[in-house]
Structure 1
Amino acid sequence: MIIEVETQIRDNLQQFLRLEGLAVESAPDGLAELMAIRTKPPQRIIGDFMLPRRNGFQLLEALQTAALKTVPFGMLCASAEPGRLQPAIARGAMASVTKPFLLEQLRILLERQRAGK
């Protein structure tokens, strides 16, 4: 599941993940997708930190139920400001990637999600 507000980034991520052999769904914000995620948990989530209506940190907090706590969550962020994503990492986000990013960085995030690290 990709949750990214920027259409071009979301479409590029979706295409890349499909090339990596993954089935991918996407959404422009976390609020609309929260119910779908609760009903049918994805194998992994890659979410933008700055989403409309519910940011990535709020979405991560909402997913901290027993059934969804084990879904690997990777965070995308446009800011490289030190400590910006520390609360998300502390709450269970597996890894973060700062935009703009290289596809190799995204591959590393996926590997960390697969390995559960």
Structure 2
Amino acid sequence: MPVEILIVDDAPNIVLSLEFLMKKEGFSVRSASDGEEALRAVAEKKPDLVLLDVMMPKRNGYDVCEAIRADPALHGVRIIMLTAKGREVEQEKGLALGADDYVTKPFSTRELVVKVRTLLGLQSESGV
């Protein structure tokens, strides 16, 4: 059964590029464009990992992260927060709410793939 990643971002171009990148790595991918849609998607089918934007309409990434961590049925879901907000205080807030990692936009796609594979306990296809 392929590893499933949920991409949550309100910028269609970022969703498309992340979908392409993750599918290329062999992952099954779904996407959501706002916080409420993300929580519905997670409740419908538990993903292995969520790539979660911070600044989104309806519910921000911090709220979504907190809601996922508060639900015992979602134990084990990994969360990488993606944001243009790179200040240390934002990173600390994301990690304090339960994010497993925090990546600042713009990011290296190679670095992101390594972080995803590491969090999921997978060896990189390229040995990275």
Q: Tell me the TM-score normalized by structure 2.
A: 0.84
Look up the match of 2:51: 46
Q: Which has the larger radius of gyration?
A: 2
Structure 2 gap segments, 5+ residues each: 1-5, 123-128
After superposition, the C-alpha distances for 1:84-113 in whole angstroms (9 at most, x for unaligned) are 121221222111110001112211220232
Does 2:91 correspond to 1:91?
A: no
Hey, which of these two has a bigger chunk of strand by percent? 2
Indicate the SS of the match to 2:46. Answer: coil
Instruction: Decide whether the 8 Å contact of 2:32 with 2:41 is kept in 1.
Output: no
CA distance in 1, matches of 2:36, 2:112: 24
Indicate the SS of the match to 1:67. Answer: helix
**CA RMSD across the alignment:** 1.4
Look up the match of 1:69: 75
Instruction: State the 1:36 CA deviation.
Output: 2.5
Structure 1 gap segments, 5+ residues each: none
| Among candidates 17, 23, 27, match of residue 18 of structure 1 | 23
| Among candidates 61, 65, 88, match of residue 60 of structure 1 | 65
Q: Tell me the TM-score normalized by structure 1.
A: 0.92
Indicate the SS of the match to 1:101. Answer: coil
Instruction: Decide whether the 8 Å contact of 1:97 with 1:109 is kept in 2.
Output: no
Q: Runs of at least 4 residues of structure 1 off by over 2 A? A: none
Percent sequence identity over aligned pairs: 32
